[in-house]
Amino acid sequence: MNKTYIFPLFLLAAGGCTGGRGHDRPNVVFIYADDIGYGDLSCNAGDLGNGSRTIVTPNVERLASNGLRFTNAHAAAATSTPARYSMLTGEYAWRRAGTGIADGDAGMIIRPERYTLADMFKDAGYTTAVVGKWHLGLGDEKGTQNWNETLVPGVRDIGFDYSYIMAATGDRVPCVFVENDTVVNLDPDDPIAVSYAENFPGEPTGKDNPELLRMLPSHGHDMSIVNGISRIGYMKGGRKALWRDEKIAGTLTEKAVRFIESSKDAPFFLYFATQDAHVPRVPDERFVGKSGMGPRGDCLLQFDWSVGQILDAIERCGLADNTIVVLSSDNGPVVDDGYQDQAVELLGEHRPGGIYRGGKYSSYEAGTRIPCIWSWKGRIAPGTVSDALVCQIDWLATLADIVGVRLPGDAAPDSQVQRDAWMGKDPQGRATLVVQNAANNLSLIAGGWKYIRPGNGTPYMKNVDIETGNSPDPQLFDLASDPAERHNLAADCPQRVDEMSRVLEEIVDGRYGLPLSSE
C-alpha cells in the first residue's frame, strides 16, 4: 500500500529528504559492526551478571527498545571474512577454501556466479548498496589488481548497485575508499601500488621507522605507514586517496545516510559495515576521551553515534514504518588486537564479551555470540528479548521469505528460513548451528549444548590474550547451566559427544539435509 507522508517543515530543512513514500515491501538496513562484543553495548548490560553499565550506547538502546534483542545470536565465524562470506552467501564459509581472513589484495572471494543476499534483493526489485568494510576481496586474482583502474570483478558483479567500501580492514593496505569499483580521489600522477609480499624501495615501515609512528604496534602491523600508523601489507602512492582514520566513521555514515535519502522512494537494501571498533582505533576528536576507556571505548561511542545517524535518517525520510533495521557484529571482541592503544590498561570493569568465554578468533561463546537486534515497526514487538538460537547465515533465506523471493536451487545451501525466530514468534530458533573459529575448527551448538570438535592450533593466543578453544580432545558444554563454558563435560557424557559429533559430521558432509529433516 502506498502512503504519502507529510513532513513538518523543520524536518525538511534538517536533511536531504524532500518527502517519502511507503511501500509494501520493507526496506532493509544492516548495521554491521566490527569486533564489537556482546558486552560492549549497554542494551546487553543487564545480561552480564552484575548489570553494570560500563559503557552507555543510547542509540543502540533506542533501536533495542523499538525492536527485538537477541541473547543467543551468532555470527557463523569468529573472524570477519568467513563471517561475512557466510552472511552474504548463506553458505558456511568452511565449505570453501580461501575464505579465511583476507589480505587487502585478495581477489573476489565471492565469485560473480555465486548467489548473494544482494542478488536476492535485486530479484525482489530493490536498490542495493554496501557502505563500509568489505574484506571479501576485489578484482580477479590475489595481487593482480590495478588499483588505478576499475576493479573487476567488483561488488556490482555480486548484486550491489552502489558501493563505497574499504577493500579490506582499517589495518590493511590499501588505505583508500573504493566507490563503485574505483578508488576515490585517484591521482594519475601518483599511482597506487600494493604488495603483500615485499616493501617498495625507499618506503618507510613501522618496523624500520618507529620514530614516524603516532601509535605503536603491539604485535604485527609493522609494514607500510599511513597517517603515522603502520599497517599490514605494503603500499605506495595514492597520497590524495588515503583515508584519514579519524574521519572513516563520519565518511561512511554520511555515505550510508545519503544512500537512504536518495533511495527512499522505492525499496532498498543497505549493508552498512562500520570499521568500529576494529584496530587501528582512531576515533574522531568528538569522541576522544569520552568513554574513559581509551580509543576502544571511544570507538564504541562513535559506533553508537553512527547508529543514531542511520536511525535519524530513516525517521527523517518517513521510512520508520516500513524498514527492517538489523544491528549486529561480525565476530566477538578483542582488546589488544595489535596496537598499543591502552585498551587493556583502561578496560576497568568493562567486559567486552559479557559473561562469555573466549573472544574474537575463539570457539568459545564470545567468539561468535554477538550483539543482535531486529526492529520492524508494527511487525516485531518493541522492547522484546529472544533467547532463540539464531545465526546471521539465515538472514538470506529469511529475508527472501519476507520479501517474497524464491531462491535458485543451488543458492544459500546452509541458510534456513527462520522467519518466526527473527520476528520473535519462535523461542527456539535453529535446531543446530555450526560455528567456526580462526583455526577453522568447528563447533556444533544444538539443544542448549555445545560440542567443540578436536582440532589443531594453539589453545591460547598470547598476543591477544584469548583462549581459542583449540584442543586435541573433544569439549562439551551445557550452555544452559554453564553459559561461560567452565566445565568440559565430554568425559562425563560420552554418548552426547558421540551424537553431537555424528550430527556435526553429517552437516559437514552435507548429508544432514538442508533444511534439517527434523525441522
Q: Is 79 in the site for ligand NG6 (CB under 6 A)?
A: yes
Question: Which residues between 385 and 414 bind ligand NG6 (CB under 6 A)?
Answer: none
**C-alpha closest to that of 154 among 106, 203, 102:** 106
The residue assigned the cell 538472514 is: 395
**Near ligand NG6 by CB under 6 A: residue from 26, 27, 31, 35:** 35
72 binds, among Ca ion, ligand NG6, none (CB under 5 to 8 A by kind): none
- The residue (of 276 and 330) whose beta carbon lies closer to Ca ion is 330
279 binds, among ligand NG6, Ca ion, none (CB under 5 to 8 A by kind): ligand NG6
Q: Are strands 68-70 and 384-386 parallel, antiparallel or unpaired?
A: parallel
**C-alpha closest to that of 271 among 208, 330, 317, 213:** 330
**Near ligand NG6 by CB under 6 A: residue from 74, 114, 135, 296:** 135
Query: Are the beta carbons of 153 and 116 closer than 8 angstroms?
Result: no
CB count, 10 Å around CB of 468? 25
Minimum CB–partner distance for residue 247 and ligand NG6 (Å): 20
CB count, 10 Å around CB of 186? 18
Minimum CB–partner distance for residue 84 and ligand NG6 (Å): 9
| Strand stretches in 110-199, DSSP E | 127-133, 162-166, 177-179, 182-183, 193-195
Question: CA 286 → CA 124, 247, 274, 417, distances in Å?
Answer: 40, 11, 17, 42
Minimum CB–partner distance for residue 409 and Ca ion (Å): 32
- In three-state secondary structure terms, 395 is helix
Select the residue whose beta carbon is closest to ligand NG6 and give its number: 220
Query: Are the beta carbons of 438 and 469 closer than 8 angstroms?
Result: no
The set of residues, in sequence order, having a beta carbon less than 8 Å from that of 386 and lying 6+ positions away, is 68, 69, 70, 71, 72, 421, 424, 427, 429
Minimum CB–partner distance for residue 232 and ligand NG6 (Å): 5
Query: Are the beta carbons of 242 and 251 closer than 8 angstroms?
Result: no
Q: Is 278 in the site for ligand NG6 (CB under 6 A)?
A: yes
Whole-angstrom Cα distance, residue 147 to residue 182? 8
Q: Which stretch binds ligand NG6 (CB under 6 A): 110-118, 215-223, 348-356, 446-454?
A: 215-223
Per-residue contact flags (x/-) with ligand NG6 for residues 89 to 128, judged by CB under 6 A: ------------x---------------------------
258 binds, among Ca ion, ligand NG6, none (CB under 5 to 8 A by kind): none
Q: Which stretch binds ligand NG6 (CB under 6 A): 47-55, 206-214, 217-225, 252-260?
A: 217-225
Q: Which cell goes with 363?
A: 570457539
Minimum CB–partner distance for residue 233 and ligand NG6 (Å): 10
- The residue (of 361 and 422) whose beta carbon lies closer to ligand NG6 is 361
42 binds, among ligand NG6, Ca ion, none (CB under 5 to 8 A by kind): none
What's the sign of the alpha-carbon dihedral 171, 176, 177, 179?
Answer: negative
Quick one: 97 exposed, middle or buried, by C-beta within 10 A (0-12, 13-18, 19+)?
Answer: exposed
The residue assigned the cell 589488544 is: 336
- The residue (of 79 and 116) whose beta carbon lies closer to ligand NG6 is 79
Q: Is 220 in the site for ligand NG6 (CB under 6 A)?
A: yes
Minimum CB–partner distance for residue 346 and ligand NG6 (Å): 19
Q: Is 20 in the site for ligand NG6 (CB under 6 A)?
A: no
Question: Which residues between 319 and 338 bind Ca ion (CB under 5 A)?
Answer: 330-331
225-234: buried (b, 16+ CB within 10 Å) or exposed (e) per residue?
Answer: bbbebbbbbb
Minimum CB–partner distance for residue 45 and ligand NG6 (Å): 23
Minimum CB–partner distance for residue 57 and Ca ion (Å): 18
- The residue (of 303 and 512) whose beta carbon lies closer to ligand NG6 is 303
SS3 assignment for 452-464 = ECCCCCCCEECCC
Q: Which cell goes with 192?
A: 597506487
Q: Is 171 in the site for ligand NG6 (CB under 6 A)?
A: yes
The set of residues, in sequence order, having a beta carbon less than 8 Å from that of 305 and lying 6+ positions away, is 59, 249, 253, 286, 287
Looking at residue 439, its amino acid is A
- The residue (of 94 and 451) whose beta carbon lies closer to Ca ion is 94
Rounded to 10 degrees, the C-alpha dihedral 503/506/507/508 comes to 120
337 binds, among Ca ion, ligand NG6, none (CB under 5 to 8 A by kind): ligand NG6
Question: Which residues between 7 and 36 bind Ca ion (CB under 5 A)?
Answer: 34-35
Q: Is 40 in the site for Ca ion (CB under 5 A)?
A: no
Q: Which cell goes with 223?
A: 609494514
40 binds, among ligand NG6, Ca ion, none (CB under 5 to 8 A by kind): none
Question: Which residues between 61 and 80 bind Ca ion (CB under 5 A)?
Answer: 80
Whole-angstrom Cα distance, residue 227 to residue 215? 10
20 binds, among ligand NG6, Ca ion, none (CB under 5 to 8 A by kind): none
- The residue (of 161 and 330) whose beta carbon lies closer to ligand NG6 is 330
- The residue (of 34 and 40) whose beta carbon lies closer to Ca ion is 34
Rounded to 10 degrees, the C-alpha dihedral 127/130/136/139 comes to 70
- The residue (of 170 and 233) whose beta carbon lies closer to Ca ion is 170
**C-alpha closest to that of 391 among 436, 352, 340:** 436
Q: Is 219 in the site for ligand NG6 (CB under 6 A)?
A: yes
List of residues contacting ligand NG6 (CB under 6 A): 34-35, 79-80, 101, 135, 169, 171, 219-221, 232, 278-279, 331, 337-338
List residues near Ca ion by CB under 5 A. 34-35, 80, 330-331
